[in-house]
Amino acid sequence: MHSNGHHPIAPEVTVSEFTEDILQRHASTGARYRRAMVVFGALFALGVVGFVVRAVGDGFDSRLPWGYFAATTAFLLTTAGTAPVLVIGMRAVKAHWRRPLARIAELYGAVGVLVFVMFLPLLFLIPSAENRPTLYFQGERFHTLGRIPGAPQVYDLLLLAAMVIAAVGMLLVSRRADKAVLAGRAGAPATGWRGTRKQWKVQAVGLGLLGASFFLAAVGAVSLFSIDFAMALVPGWRDAIFPAFQMITGLQGGLATVVLTAFFLRKYGHFERYIHMENFWAPSKIMLALTLLWFYFGWSGFIIFWYGRQPIEQNLMQHLFFGPYEWFFYSAFLLCFVVPFLTLLWNGVRKSTGGPALAAAFILVGNLMDKIRIYVGSFAIPNDLIAEHALEVVPPIHWPDVFDIMMMVGGVSGALFLVLWMARRVPILSLWEMAEGIRLRVVRPFLRRQVTVLGKPD
């Protein structure tokens, strides 16, 4: 039982009213939606042009020109790519507030296809793991027995492919019931979905298995990507906490992506009747916890270098924190921890729609700053130095040129264009999941106020 407090209870809506409203919205596109598609599509095409010019002009012999492209790939991987984790966890605990956010998170899972395509050119920029310090430790230099074939490219590719397949599979399984409703409305032939108890049970099991597979693959993909495309490229960089820290940034960034999208959908898509204050209040608590974890894991890795102060660690600190990319580090620290922490610390801010969305926007910008610091700096190390024991000379900062900016803007725009394109094929709100929630929710008078009574799904 939930009281309304200082916020009005959202009006009750029936399943038929909700379904009819969403189907009508899905069947037509507004002028604002079409403009967004055109703008993001044009910017995405501009990014493709920037990539082609960079590939023709610089090739793949040097990593330095591709630093910002790698940072953009890592940014999309740890924001849109990890967004489905939210719905996986909340479905497992049967949280009611996840229902309007579930399909948003699933749609962002489709962005994994774009991340996978952007990842492929990066494979040509990373040398074999043999005879250089990597996670795989192989070759005569390390006196290891045998050789791990294809390291590191094959294993990064397999994990990222598994992550994308699981994310797309979740979306396809989840949309099956909705697809039957859409087909019935259009008078199309039956899709095979009849809504029997067995089919619902199979769907629940399928979503559970795909969700578990996605989570495991995401942890592996984000961790290996951060190791092989950042840490292993910088001589002397040894940090056992760094992969876990990058996964925390992925969880934080994925949640921020969903919350910010829900805010724009509510404000500009006029979904106030279905996306309520509680759909921001509840995830804001998780966002606050992830913000604290961001600081904990980041500090745990930083403090080793700070107190060690060995010659090998001093240059690493200059390269990663206080040298050429110091302002990117400060920006990431402020926007991923300080500002969202001070914003979400207050219950009055969390218990709103704008407060969590504002914190989510700060987090996403901070995530991008952090990825530029890490990957542009790592890609600045020449090939002939990455196998050395220590970083003897800190390379200068590499500023973006016009083609870097085109690729960064184009990559982010491509992700948004893909989500909008998918939203024309799958309802932006899950019909079956929202209908289940409507059946379990009722508003009743209690003393002098209205309260929302929620039933248990099973």
CA 212 to CA 395: how far, in whole Å? Answer: 41
Look at 106-120, 174-188, 388-402 and tell me which has the smallest mean pLDDT: 174-188
Residue 134, both tokens: 């990597």
Residue 368, both tokens: 């991008």
Question: Alpha-carbon torsion 112, 115, 116, 117, what sign?
Answer: positive
- Report yes or no: 221 and 82 within 8 Å, Cβ to Cβ: no
- Residue 125 reports pLDDT greater than 80: yes
- Residue 412 reports pLDDT greater than 70: yes
> Partners of 442 in the beta sheet?
453
Length of the chain: 458
- Residue 376 reports pLDDT greater than 90: yes
Q: pLDDT tens digit string along 267-279?
A: 998 899 899 998 9
Summarize the confidence of residues 286-309 as an average pLDDT.
Answer: 93
Q: Coil, strand, or helix at residue 30?
A: coil
Look at 8-12, 191-195, 209-213, 319-323 and tell me which has the smallest mean pLDDT: 8-12
Prediction pTM value:
0.93
Question: Alpha-carbon torsion 391, 392, 396, 401, what sign?
Answer: negative
- 182 band by pLDDT with thresholds 50, 70 and 90: confident
Average pLDDT of the chain to the nearest whole number: 90
Q: Which residue has the higher pLDDT, 440 or 161?
A: 161
- Report yes or no: 458 and 439 within 8 Å, Cβ to Cβ: no
Residue 94, φ and ψ in degrees, nearest 5 = 60, 45
Summarize the confidence of residues 241-253 as an average pLDDT.
Answer: 96
Q: pLDDT tens digit string along 95-116?
A: 889 999 999 999 999 999 999 9
